C-alpha cells in the first residue's frame, strides 16, 4: 500500500508527532520500542511473501475504540479500562498490515461535534489553533490532517465521522449501519453508532473501510451486504440538493464554496434538483431532544457523577431522566415513520448532496455557547444514522482558515454510489468498496454507448474493463429491437472485443430472466485462458457476422 516499509513509516510518524507539537490530539501514544517491534514483524511477513494490503501504513484510533493493552477512556479517566483484545475493526486493520500508533482525544463519551468537551484538552483545528477541530472524533481527524497518521478511526452517531473531516480538509466515510462491526467500541447510542475512517484521499479511506467491513459474531447488530447491492452510480445520476431556504444556517463565507461544489457535481453529468429537506432535518431532533437520548444514559449514565465528567455532556445526557419508557417507545415509532417518509421523499434520487457542517467556529465561540453552537454543527448530519443512510464527506475548499466540506448521502447499502459520486466531484480514481460478487462479459448491445447498456447501469452494474474472447467463437446477430448478438463456440472461430461488468447476484438473476430465446448465459473463454459468464447459445440463429470482427464494427 505504501512505498515505505512499516519500520520507516513508524519512524517518520514518531518524528512528525514531536515536530507537530499537538499533544492535545492524543490520549496515548504507544512506546517506540513496541511500535518498531510490530513494524519489524510486518516487514518480515511482507518479505516472506505475505499479502498485506495496508502494510506500510500507520493509523490512530479514537479513544472509545479498544486497542489491546491500551486503556480505553472514552475521554473520561475515571471510566478507563484496559481491554485484552482489539475491537474487531482494529484487529482487521492490524491483520492487514497497518500499525496502530495510539489513541486520540475526543468529545467525552463521543457526545459532541466540537472537539472541546474533554478533560484531556480542547483539540484545535489542524490549520488554525484558534478554530475548533470538530468532534467528537477530534484527535483522529487532526492527526491525519497534520500528516502524522495515514488514516484514523472515528465513530459516528450524529456526524462525528464527517464534521471533523470537513473542518480539517479530509475525506470521511460513514458506511451503512452494521457493515463495520462495533464490538469493542464504547457505545454512545448503540442503535446508531458507526465506526468510520478519516483519510487524506478517497482511495485510502475506501480501502481501510473495506478491510474492516463484514459481519462479526461479536457484534449481533453487524450486517452483511444484501444480494441486490448496488455496485456503481449511474452515468447521469439525479442528485437532490437543498432549497435556498434550507441553507439559512450556512455561514455566508461558505455560500460560494457550496455553489462551487454544486457546479462541480453538475459538471460530472449529474442532474441536481432542489428538494425540501426539512423533514430530514426535523427527524434529526429526535436524537437529542427526544427520548432516544436514553440510549446515551444507558451507555454511560452511571459515570455522570464522576469529578472528570464534562458538565455539558452531563447536562445533555441527564436530559434522558425526564422521559419515560412509554416516551421512548413513542419516539421509536416516530422514527419509523420518519424513515418511511425519508425513503418516499428521496425516491427517484441517487443521492442527496448537503453541506457537511454549516460553520467552522472558534474555540471562544464554543466556550460562549457550548450547547447552541454544537447543535448548529449537526444541522446537516444528525439525521443520517437515524434514517439508516450512508454518507461520504469530502473537502470542498476553505474560507480563510475555516474548512468547508460537502457530503453525499445515500440509502442503506448504496455506499458505493456515494463513493463513486464523491470520486467524480474530486476528479480522482474511483475505488471499489462494495463487494463485486458476479462478473458478466458482454460483446454487443449492452456495451458502453450501446442501446441496451442502460439495462446494466440500471441494475447498479459496474464497468470493469475491456476483454476479448478466445479465437474460438462465431458471432450471430438476432433481428430484435434493438438488434443484439450472441457467440457460439466453433472450430473455425474468431476473437471478439467486449467488456467486463460486475453485478450483484440478484441483478444477474433479473438480467437472465429477461433474455430472449435462443440466448442464455453461459461460460465464455477469454483470450487469457480464463472463463467468464456471457451471452451464448447452443445453436446458430440469425445472421453470421463473424467476419465483421465484433459488434461495434458490424453496427458501423
Q: How far apart are CA 278 and CA 547, in angstroms?
A: 60
What b/e string do you get for 47-69 counting C-beta neighbours within 10 Å, with b at 16 or more? eeeeebebbbbbbbbbbbbbbee
Cα separations (Å) of 179 from 139, 214, 414, 431?
Answer: 24, 6, 12, 17
- Measured in degrees and rounded to the nearest 5, phi and psi for residue 465 equal 115, 170
What b/e string do you get for 15-39 counting C-beta neighbours within 10 Å, with b at 16 or more? eebeeeebebbbbbbbeeeebbebb
Residues forming the active site: 62, 136, 160
Helix runs in 269-392, H state only = 278-283, 286-289, 294-300, 311-318, 325-345, 363-368, 370-377, 383-386
Q: How far apart are CA 417 and CA 413, in angstroms?
A: 9
* Residue 188, C-alpha cell as written in the block: 454512545
First CA to last CA across the chain, in angstroms? 44
* Residue 542 near residue 475, CB atoms below 8 Å: no
Q: How far apart are CA 420 and CA 234, in angstroms?
A: 9
* Residue 158 near residue 137, CB atoms below 8 Å: no
Q: What is the DSSP letter of 65?
A: B
Q: What would the 3-class secondary structure string for 183-217 be?
A: CCECCCCHHHCEEEEEECCHHHHHHHHHHHCCCEC
Residue labelled with grid coordinates 441553507:
247
Amino acid at each position: 500500500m505504501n512505498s515505505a516499509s512499516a519500520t520507516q513509516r513508524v519512524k517518520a510518524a514518531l518524528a512528525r508527532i514531536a515536530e507537530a507539537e499537538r499533544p492535545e490530539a492524543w490520549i496515548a501514544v504507544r512506546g517506540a520500542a513496541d511500535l518498531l517491534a510490530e513494524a519489524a514483524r510486518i516487514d518480515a511477513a511482507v518479505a516472506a511473501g505475505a499479502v498485506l494490503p495496508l502494510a506500510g501504513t500507520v493509523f490512530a484510533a479514537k479513544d472509545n475504540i479498544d486497542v489491546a493493552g491500551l486503556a480505553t477512556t472514552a475521554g473520561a479517566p475515571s471510566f478507563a479500562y484496559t481491554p485484552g483484545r482489539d475491537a474487531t475493526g482494529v484487529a482487521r486493520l492490524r491483520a492487514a498490515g497497518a500499525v496502530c500508533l495510539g489513541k486520540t482525544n475526543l468529545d467525552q463519551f463521543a457526545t459532541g461535534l466540537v472537539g472541546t468537551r474533554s478533560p484531556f484538552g480542547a483539540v484545535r483545528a489542524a490549520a488554525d489553533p484558534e478554530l475548533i477541530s470538530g468532534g467528537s472524533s477530534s484527535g483522529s481527524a487532526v492527526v491525519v490532517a497534520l500528516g502524522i497518521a495515514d488514516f484514523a478511526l472515528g465513530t459516528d452517531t450524529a456526524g462525528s465521522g464527517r464534521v471533523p473531516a470537513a473542518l480539517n480538509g479530509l475525506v470521511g466515510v460513514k458506511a451503512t449501519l452494521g457493515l463495520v462491526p462495533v464490538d469493542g467500541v464504547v457505545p454512545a447510542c448503540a442503535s446508531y453508532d458507526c465506526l468510520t475512517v478519516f483519510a487524506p484521499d478517497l482511495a485510502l479511506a475506501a480501502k481501510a473501510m473495506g478491510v474492516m467491513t463484514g459481519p462479526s459474531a461479536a457484534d449481533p447488530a453487524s450486517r452483511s451486504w444484501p444480494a441486490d447491492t448496488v455496485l456503481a452510480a449511474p452515468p447521469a445520476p439525479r442528485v437532490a440538493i437543498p432549497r435556498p431556504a434550507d441553507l439559512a444556517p450556512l455561514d455566508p463565507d461558505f455560500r460560494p464554496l457550496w455553489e462551487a461544489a454544486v457546479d462541480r457535481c453538475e459538471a460530472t453529468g449529474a442532474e441536481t434538483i432542489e428538494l425540501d429537506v426539512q423533514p430530514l432535518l426535523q427527524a434529526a431532533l429526535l436524537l437529542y431532544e427526544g427520548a432516544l437520548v436514553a440510549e446515551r444514559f444507558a451507555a454511560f449514565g452511571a459515570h455522570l457523577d464522576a469529578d472528570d465528567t464534562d458538565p455539558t455532556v452531563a447536562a445533555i445526557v441527564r436530559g434522558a431522566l425526564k422521559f419515560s419508557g412509554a416516551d421512548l417507545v413513542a419516539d421509536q415509532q416516530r422514527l419509523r415513520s420518519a424513515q418511511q417518509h425519508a425513503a418516499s421523499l428521496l425516491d427517484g434520487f441517487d443521492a442527496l448532496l448537503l453541506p457537511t457542517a454549516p460553520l467552522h467556529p472558534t474555540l471562544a465561540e464554543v466556550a460562549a455557547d457550548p450547547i447552541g453552537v454544537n447543535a448548529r454543527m449537526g444541522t446537516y448530519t444528525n439525521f443520517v444514522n437515524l434514517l439508516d443512510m450512508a454518507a461520504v464527506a469530502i473537502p470542498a475548499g476553505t474560507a480563510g482558515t475555516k474548512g468547508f466540506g460537502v457530503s453525499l448521502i445515500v440509502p442503506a447499502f448504496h455506499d458505493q454510489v456515494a463513493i463513486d459520486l464523491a470520486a467524480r466531484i474530486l476528479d480522482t480514481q474511483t475505488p471499489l468498496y462494495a463487494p463485486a460478487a458476479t462478473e458478466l462479459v458482454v460483446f454487443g448491445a449492452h456495451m458502453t454507448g450501446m442501446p441496451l447498456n442502460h439495462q446494466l447501469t440500471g441494475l447498479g452494474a459496474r464497468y470493469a474493463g475491456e476483454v476479448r474472447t478466445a479465437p474460438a467463437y462465431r458471432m450471430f446477430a438476432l433481428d430484435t429491437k434493438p438488434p443484439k448478438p450472441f457467440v457460439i463456440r466453433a472450430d473455425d472461430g474468431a476473437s471478439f472485443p467486449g467488456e467486463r461488468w460486475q453485478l450483484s447476484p440478484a441483478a444477474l438473476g433479473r438480467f437472465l430472466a429477461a433474455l430472449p430465446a435462443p440466448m442464455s448465459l453461459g461460460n465464455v473463454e477469454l483470450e487469457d485462458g480464463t472463463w467468464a459468464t456471457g451471452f451464448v447459445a447452443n445453436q446458430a440463429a440469425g445472421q453470421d457476422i463473424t467476419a465483421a470482427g465484433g459488434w461495434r464494427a458490424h453496427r458501423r
